[in-house]
Amino acid sequence: MNKMKYYFASLLFLLVAVGFAQETQTKERESGHTNQNKFKQLYEEFATPNSYRSASGAPGPNYYQQQADYKMDITLDDKKAIIYGEETITYYNNSPDDLEYLWVQLDQNVRAKDSKSPLRNGGGVPLAEQPGTFAGKYLGEPFDGGFNIDYVKDASGKALSYTINQTMMRINIPQPLKSKAQMSFSIKWNYNIPDHTVNRARSGFEYFAKDDNRAYVIAQFFPRMAVYSDVEGWQNHQFWGSGEFALTFGDYEVNITVPADHILDATGTLQNRKEVFSKEMMNRYERAKKSYDKPVLIVTQAEAEAAEKIKSEKTKTWKFKAKNVRDYGFATSRKFIWDMQAVKVGGKNIMAVSLYPKEGNPLWGEYSTKAVAHTLKSYSEHSTNYPYPKAISVHAKNQGMEYPMICWNYGRPNEDGTYSDRVKYGMISVIIHEVGHNFFPMIVNSDERQWGWMDEGLDTFLQYMAEQEFGEKFPEAIAPNKAYPSRRGAPAKIVPYMSGDQSTIAPIMSNPENVYQLGPNAYGKPATALNILRETVMGRELFDHAFKTYSERWKFKHPTPEDFFRTMEDASAVDLDWYWRGWFYTTDYVDIGVKGIKKYYVSDKPSKKMQEYMAARNLTEADLPPLVYLADEDSEDFDANLKGKAPTENSKTLKEFMMDNLTAEERAAVKEPKYFYEIAFNKPGGIPMPLIVEYTYADGTTKNITYPPEIWRKNDQEVKLVISSISELKSVVVDPKLETADIDTSNNAWPKKEEKSDFDKFKRKVKG
């Protein structure tokens, strides 16, 4: 049997080679070109490996990163909605360079009265705008929310000069900060807290008119060190609003003073719990630390409603410490209900926590902490174990924003407590997504200012898996017999974007400020690309090992896109340069179809094309070894007597070969195919992908074959395959399960299905 397989393979190779020679012989000579093969390596796009970042994608032997430790005293004035702060930053220069000055981020300056951020976009009159956006643009004076810097001083109390350029402040130190040295300096500041329901501010307050209270979600509230690295030097790109944050790891000691009746939680471990908790709250907290199946209320709704009615004139200071975090956030209000439960991750107890006003119930009490706990388990399984002591979900209108150990999330029921499935799934999804950001970028600390997809895309990919697992774990939360309705991640979901107007599409490898549609570009497309990579290109085992390798290599470090791309290949032995190029570096799309099919039968006689080939080379049959020929059913020299017969009946040469080379037992085991097909697959789309084909035969059987993407390596536009079968071929379908985000499925089948109307074509295109 092995001999027989070898003979058929050799025969097929010869026929393909002959056909290729005939086709290329007739082409006109073309001018030369550079290597434009889609499978060439990304040497031109990637930086040269060095001692800081290795070719394998791992940190190099000389990899370094800076550290910034913060000690802060923060006071929130609830009556005036102002934050006052003093901080001491100790900055460690672990780089090999002496630093002439230091750069500090002042992100609140994006809301300064003279901010250039609102002036950076054109576009004319939109079709519609949210009321808050419209009011912020046209009604009243711009909100003055920038930092007011009182002083910058060195460790001895001497003033340091500084220069503010929009959202960046350069501190002009008297002498360069030497390599491996450290220095401390202090900043005092204040700013007006914005209403975050206007223009979707990432941080601020929501005002509740019915009870005259505010709920605060506070971040970007302090001057923060910019990143200095081997890749960028100082990452001091301005904060314009879309590109988020590049931040340095450090340790925090933060004291936050708020009205005495406020409930507050924040990044880090609470140091004075017995001072700020009542005895009953302490008892409930101890129960919560042992409750793994459901949350325990630390502050009940009745208690929160009672607190809303009386505003304390006293204050209370909450003290926190956080180790090895890249940022800081807190939430505070007298309106907050507070619940917690324990989660076991990597042998450690983690607290899953929710803060929400009564306006969030009953939805939040039912699902928020449940979603937090599930996210910690799911993400830890797929990336790296969650290292921090807690994860907090805070209810905030129209919000979705993340910080270490704490995040703000939307999802509000109607006033009567009812809510739609859309609101429910939206809330669960945003909690999974924002809690998931604890892993990317809070642990695996990518540069969000430059590469938005490295946190948003990776997080959305893991979110998709966590959502599907949530639906399996909590079927009572999902419609009967339905999967979780993920908004992003499934291949078909990205088709409308990838098939859209190319003038409004940018490559994933673009700065978030420069893309047209940030959601599909930084969230949806990279998440879909990774999902397809896992399910269709690499397989789960190889992908999962490589992804966890990346997560472990770069936790608490600063990876670049190349570090991710290289690690995924290094840990899997799968060449993926073609995939990164197509999905991440271009706006190409996937479109693979069936171009045509020809039926052949085995013959003893050379076809007319074969005869022409021989004549062109002055060859006769006597000059060639014994050959088996395939006759095209639609050609003029086809003999109808060849139909329906076994190959050995139509070819004396083949029969003699089998008699001379196979034993009687081997000949008895041979199943002779009666049908041979040449199938031409074309690729109108620019991205090469695995060719996934389902063949259906007259006897009712089907065969599914996935040809590797390398099948396109020598012809990026069309490939021809020869298949043989006992039964007649009835249909061929490319990508039958819609695994590749193919933007046009009208060419995916043979025989081609007729579309009845223009409306059918429209539905097909939208569905993908």
d(CA 41, CA 267): 43
Residue 362: asked if its preceding bond is cis (omega within 30°), the reply is: yes
* Model pLDDT, residue 133: 73
Contact 436, 467 (CB under 8 A): no
pTM, 2 dp: 0.92
Segments of the chain assigned to CATH 2.60.40.1730: 67-121+128-342
DSSP state, residue 590: B
* Model pLDDT, residue 27: 55
d(CA 380, CA 52): 27
- What per-residue string of b and e applies to 420-452 under the rule 16 or more CB within 10 Å gives b? eeebbbbbbbbbbbbbbbbbbbbbbbbbbbbbb
Of 217, 229, 193, 259, nearest in space to 94 by CA: 229
Residues in the chain with pLDDT < 70? 1-28, 140, 754-768
Q: In the block, which residue shows the tokens 């981020």?
A: 105
Q: For the chain, what percentages of helix, strand and coil (3-state, to nearest 5) are there?
A: 30, 25, 40
The predicted-structure confidence for 578-587, as pLDDT tens digits, reads as follows 999 999 999 9
Residue 194: asked if its preceding bond is cis (omega within 30°), the reply is: no
Residues recorded for the chain: 768
d(CA 421, CA 433): 18
Contacts of 208-213 with C-beta under 8 Å, sequence gap 24+, read 208/335, 208/357, 208/359, 211/308, 211/309, 211/335, 213/308, 213/311, 213/333, 213/334, 213/335
Classify strands 749-750 and 161-165 as parallel, antiparallel or unpaired.
Answer: unpaired
Q: Measured between alpha carbons, how far apart are the two ends of the chain, in Å?
A: 43
Of 199, 225, 206, 350, nearest in space to 289 by CA: 350
d(CA 411, CA 479): 19
Measured CA to CA in angstroms, residue 586 lies from 208, 447, 453, 507 at distances of 46, 21, 14, 5
Residue 61: asked if its preceding bond is cis (omega within 30°), the reply is: no
The predicted-structure confidence for 697-742, as pLDDT tens digits, reads as follows 999 999 999 999 999 999 999 999 999 999 999 999 999 999 999 9
Q: In the block, which residue shows the tokens 């299905």?
A: 753
Measured CA to CA in angstroms, residue 525 lies from 45, 447, 517 at distances of 20, 19, 11
d(CA 627, CA 312): 98
Q: Which conformational region is residue 127 in: left (phi greater than 0), alpha (psi within -120 to 50 degrees), or beta?
A: alpha
d(CA 484, CA 311): 43
Q: Where are the beta strands (DSSP E) in 584-687?
A: 593-603, 629-632, 675-682
3-state secondary structure 25-46: HCCCCCCCCCCCCCCCCCCCCC
d(CA 460, CA 439): 12
Q: Which CATH number fits domain 67-121+128-342: 2.40.390.10, 3.20.20.70, 3.40.50.10540, 2.60.40.1730?
A: 2.60.40.1730
| Residue 25 CA from chain centroid, whole number | 47
Helices 453-473, 363-382: inter-axial angle, 10-degree rounding: 110
